[in-house]
Chains A and B, each alone.
Chain A
């Protein structure tokens, strides 16, 4: 098992720019969820992908979009970056959409995005 890997680990962008964050899910996992975690807050659900289709979305504007690839890896794209988008972006994978009863969701170490 390689776990969930995310890249890059840190990123600095300018307001108005676009960013793409990447996630490789754990081997055998077909479901990927993305979360935004502001400093001192709990993770906020952005969306979930299952077999390359979005099957759940939180309260985030359309400039947050994603993709899941046939190998179940995933991307999070954010357009027109705003200062408030500065946060830790976490990717979580599972072998089923409701989370594995025994193992839950496996989180990656996240990408720390700073928008200046």
Chain B
């Protein structure tokens, strides 16, 4: 079946270091969304990417959609303790369905 994997599963960084999580889909995606979930919380939408090779920035966060629309990445520059949480990508397959397949998530811990 369709799968979306993320690596790494966990990442511990010192405050101020950079962080990157990678998302890989087994099938081509129509678009991809990124969410952040704080411990004990619910997913909060960050961004949606639609075009092949698209790059979007939100302050210290940079999101990229691969040329083949099967992978994506989220890069955080100079992490802060407020960045703690699990980051999920969610891809919508091109098969015409409206469902989003969530990735396995990357749990980020930032050490002050």
Of B33, B41, B99, which contacts A48 at CB under 8 A? B99
Are A107 and B104 neighbours in the complex by a CB distance under 8 Å?
no
- Chain A residues near B30: list those with CB within 8 A: 98
List B residues 68-112 near A (Cβ within 8 Å). Answer: 88, 90, 92, 97-105
Are B42 and A90 neighbours in the complex by a CB distance under 8 Å?
yes
In the complex, number of A-B residue pairs with CB atoms less than 8 Å apart: 65
Are B42 and A109 neighbours in the complex by a CB distance under 8 Å?
yes
Of all chain B residues, the one with the shortest Cβ separation from A105 is B45
Q: Which of the four size classes fits the interface of chain A?
A: 20 to 34
Supposing A42-B105, A99-B33 touch, asked if A104 and B48 sit within 8 A by C-beta, the answer is: yes
Q: Residues of B at under 8 Å CB distance from A?
A: 1, 4, 30-31, 33, 35, 41-48, 50, 88, 90, 92, 97-105
The contact sample of 18 A-B pairs, CB cut-off 8 A, is: A41-B104, A42-B88, A42-B104, A43-B88, A43-B90, A44-B102, A45-B99, A45-B101, A55-B98, A58-B99, A90-B42, A90-B43, A99-B33, A104-B33, A106-B45, A107-B42, A108-B42, A109-B42
The 4 closest A-B pairs by CB, nearest first: A104-B45, A42-B102, A56-B98, A107-B42
Q: Residues of A at under 8 Å CB distance from B?
A: 33, 35, 41-45, 48, 50, 55-59, 90, 92, 97-99, 101-110
